[in-house]
């Protein structure tokens, strides 16, 4: 079929780009994240010149979070549907993986083998325990609870989704990294989105206001870079297909939106009660 041949040719060409494709996508991601950050600062965060009540800004943040949730869930559903329609998506996945591995130098694979450790279960669990401990010691109990629910909830969600889809991992015989268990969606990808995204959120809300305003954009860009790099490392190392990673990004983003929205609601309710009790 001409269309199928064209799809295969495009997928293989993209795989042959290797690192060029990775850096090109990262170069698109960072300006997009910057734009979203600017929009959030402009329309969803109160300022000294704001005329809207705090509740209106909360509604804007919640509506934005809902839009992110719906969009991410739609992306996940599209990928899952494509995988369920037949072997074609899996064949294209394999073609892309083979082309990517063949075009990537050994030194780059070594770097990705290090990067992927940032999304290991042990690493993310250490972040989970460490940040929760610090928050509790600082008396930020509700923020600590939100953090723990975000990290542990995503782990449970990813395990459930893997068991539901039961997709086999690509064959990987490299000594650099080994992975077992089901493949879809990528736990490294979703876990990195949630943990590093929530870490940026927690830091922004824990720093003094003036410092938080200056640090918020760098923290957002760093979190996006880490999550994206960890997810891509799984494809370069051939322990996940590209669609596994895309689905992991989608599910992680959806869960992150739910968690941030829930924390924002809790914070608003707490401030409202404190004001009413005065």
User: For 182-201, b where at least 16 C-beta lie within 10 A, e where not — what string?
Assistant: bbbbbbbbbbbbbbbbbbbb
Active site residue 188: yes
Q: How far is CA 141 from the centre of its chain?
A: 25
User: Which uninterrupted H or E stretch holds 232?
Assistant: helix 209-236
Q: How far is CA 248 from the centre of its chain?
A: 7
Give CA separation, 140 vs 17, 136, 150, in Å: 46, 6, 15
Calpha distance 4→190 (Å, rounded) = 30
DSSP 3-state of 143: helix
Calpha distance 118→201 (Å, rounded) = 18
Active site residue 268: no
Query: Among residues 178, 188, 205, 268, which one is catalytic?
Result: 188
Calpha distance 72→193 (Å, rounded) = 12
Query: Among residues 172, 205, 240, 268, which one is catalytic?
Result: 240
Catalytic positions: 188, 240
């Amino acid at each position: 079929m001409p269309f199928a041949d064209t799809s295969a040719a495009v997928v293989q060409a993209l795989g042959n780009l290797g690192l060029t494709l990775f850096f090109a996508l990262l170069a698109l991601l960072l300006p997009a994240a910057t734009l979203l950050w600017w929009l959030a600062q402009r329309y969803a965060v109160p300022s000294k010149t704001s005329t809207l009540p705090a509740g209106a800004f909360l509604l804007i943040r919640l509506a934005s979070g809902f839009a992110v949730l719906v969009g991410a869930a739609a992306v996940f559903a599209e990928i899952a549907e494509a995988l369920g329609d037949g072997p074609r998506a899996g064949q294209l996945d394999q073609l892309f993986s083979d082309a990517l591995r063949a075009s990537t130098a050994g030194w780059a694979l070594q770097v990705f083998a290090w990067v992927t450790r940032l999304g290991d279960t042990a690493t993310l669990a250490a972040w989970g325990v460490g940040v929760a401990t610090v928050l509790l010691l600082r008396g930020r109990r509700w923020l600590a609870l939100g953090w723990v629910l975000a990290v542990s909830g995503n782990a449970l969600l990813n395990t459930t989704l893997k068991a539901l889809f039961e997709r086999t991992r690509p064959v990987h015989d490299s000594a650099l990294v080994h992975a077992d268990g089901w493949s879809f969606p990528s736990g490294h990808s979703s876990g990195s989105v949630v943990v590093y995204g929530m870490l940026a959120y927690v830091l922004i809300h824990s720093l003094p206001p003036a410092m938080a305003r200056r640090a918020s954009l760098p923290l957002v860009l760093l979190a996006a870079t880490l999550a994206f790099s960890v997810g891509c490392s799984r494809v370069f190392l051939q322990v996940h297909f590209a669609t596994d990673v895309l689905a992991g990004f989608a599910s992680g983003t959806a869960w992150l939106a739910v968690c941030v929205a829930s924390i924002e609601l809790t914070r608003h309710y707490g401030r409202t009660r404190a004001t009413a009790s005065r």
